[in-house]
Amino acid sequence: MSFHPTGLTSSSIRIRRILDPSYPLCREDVIWVLHFVQKKVALKDPALLDLSKPRLLQNFNSYSEAALLLLGSGNHVHTKSDDIRTCLLEAMHGLAELQEAISPSQASTD
């Protein structure tokens, strides 16, 4: 994992960009997040192990829904961008990289 001058990891920077509503979401971005989450699950990320079973099921449901939205959108991911972003956000719930990606934007709203 590489660190940038902002103090964020490259994964957090990409997640922040993907979740930004003004960023034009593309198929590769959705696949990247799905693969990122899959790797975290396969590696038994401690942050995921701390989640309750109902929360894990909600993450899985959102992961599956994002994948189905991607499959159903063909080459027109932009038509479902808001729905897909919501699913991706929920699928990454609990991961440190997500917290890093959204924390600075929350701090700037103070």
Q: What is the distance between the alpha carbons of residues 48 and 21, in angstroms, rounded to a whole number? A: 26
Q: What is the distance between the alpha carbons of residues 16 and 98, in angstroms, rounded to a whole number? A: 8
Work out the number of other CB atoms within 10 angstroms of the CB of residue 60: 14
Predicted confidence at residue 73, as pLDDT, reads 74
Predicted confidence at residue 77, as pLDDT, reads 75
Give the tens place of pLDDT for each residue, 63-99: 999 999 998 877 677 778 899 999 999 999 999 999 9
Predicted confidence at residue 1, as pLDDT, reads 47
Predicted confidence at residue 104, as pLDDT, reads 61
Give the tens place of pLDDT for each residue, 35-50: 999 999 999 999 999 9
